[in-house]
Structure 1
Amino acid sequence: MEFIGWTVVLVVPVVYLLIALAQVQAASFAVASAVDAASRILEVESGDAAVAHARVAVALALSDQGVDADPATALSVGCADAACTGAVVRVQAGVDLPVLAAAGVGRDVVVVDAERAVTLADTGGAP
């Protein structure tokens, strides 16, 4: 009986930790992939259509890793300089940790983000 008790006390937290770390790692891969995809689109395309296409790329990259985040709020694009010839692309997503989400703890506990500086395709306007 003692063996079963110690096994539960030791194994359950280790399994939880592995699952939680796997979810954080998947979100990290998703965010890095999303910022790369969005920045590539903004480097070759210009105008409002470029931002819309970048949001689609962010949505695809996040959904590939099972991250449930709204691409409209996850993606942010800001001018890097006064002339807006470059931009800083940032993708941010919260991670749902197992059991904590059911307990009412939100995605703001663990937030993963990535950013990348790009030279915009259209140097005459804002992203």
Structure 2
Amino acid sequence: MDVLIHVFVALHIIGIGALLGGFLTQMKAMGAGTARFTPAMLHGALTMLVTGIALVGIHQAEGHTVDHVKIGVKLAILVVILGLVYVKRDEEKVDKALFGAVGGLTMANIFIATLWV
């Protein structure tokens, strides 16, 4: 079961990398007002959702305690990110504030995952 957990953690990290990487590559375009949500951002967020749910399920199945408040906060943030990226995915350019919000929420999710113990 440990191998499965490590695979899902690796995929979860790949998902956050795709989401954050998509945001960071659009920073210059955001300054010019032409930033857009890339398919990598949507796929990264979906990967995070699926692997995160799998990780929580595996941990609970093994009898480990899960911090439901932390997971709920992370899930709520991810649902907002997914909603914004999914709805605006086909637009040629996205408002700077909206694009910045997705980047900020992504970084908030990273800090919650790493600093909330």
Task: Tell me whether the two structures share a fold, i.e. TM-score over 0.5.
Answer: no
Higher Cα Rg, which structure: 1
More helix by share: 2
Structure-2-length-normalised TM-score: 0.40
Q: Which has the higher contact order (CA 8 A, sep 6+)?
A: 2
Structure-1-length-normalised TM-score: 0.38
